Amino acid sequence: MRDPTGSTQEEGPMSDIGGQTVVPDPIEVVERFGAAWADHDLEATLRLVTEDCLFEATGPAPDGTSHIGPSEIRKAWKAIFEDTASRFVAEETFGAGDRVVQRWRYTWDGGHVRGVDIFKVRDGKIAEKRSYVKG
């Protein structure tokens, strides 16, 4: 991110630029989250979630399972991140206020699924990630 003087500064969840706190655009937060996910970097991904983050998993049907906070979320995501052959690809991303909707395709050895995540962003971090898949 460039500050008003033109110098480049790395942007964290919230940055102090020129004495002003800058909260990143929710779509930018989700894109950074997606980049960490694509790199299979669980630690970087978890640094982008709030301490009270809600992750609603897609299974088991019909309602999925809720995981709250980085510790529970780490357990839910560990196997996905360990499968380095798997890939998430964002197909479309758009936002409305603090909400971001992302259509995606998840591919692994032997299959794929398409779905949608509904994110809520607070203070430059993911506060909710509600996941849904096509039957």
- CATH number of the domain to which 129 belongs: 3.10.450.50
pLDDT digits (tens, 9 = 90+) for 99-128: 999 999 999 999 999 999 999 999 999 999
Residue 1, domain member (yes or no): no
- Which residue reads 């980085």 in tokens? 70
**Mean pLDDT to the nearest integer, 75-85:** 95
pLDDT digits (tens, 9 = 90+) for 4-20: 333 333 344 555 566 77
Residue 2, domain member (yes or no): no
- Confidence check: pLDDT of 97 > 60: yes
End-to-end alpha carbon distance in the chain: 40
Mean pLDDT (the chain) is 88
pTM of structure: 0.84
Domain count, the chain: 1
Structural domain containing residue 125: 15-133
Where does the chain have alpha helices with state H? 26-38, 42-46, 69-82
Residue 6, domain member (yes or no): no
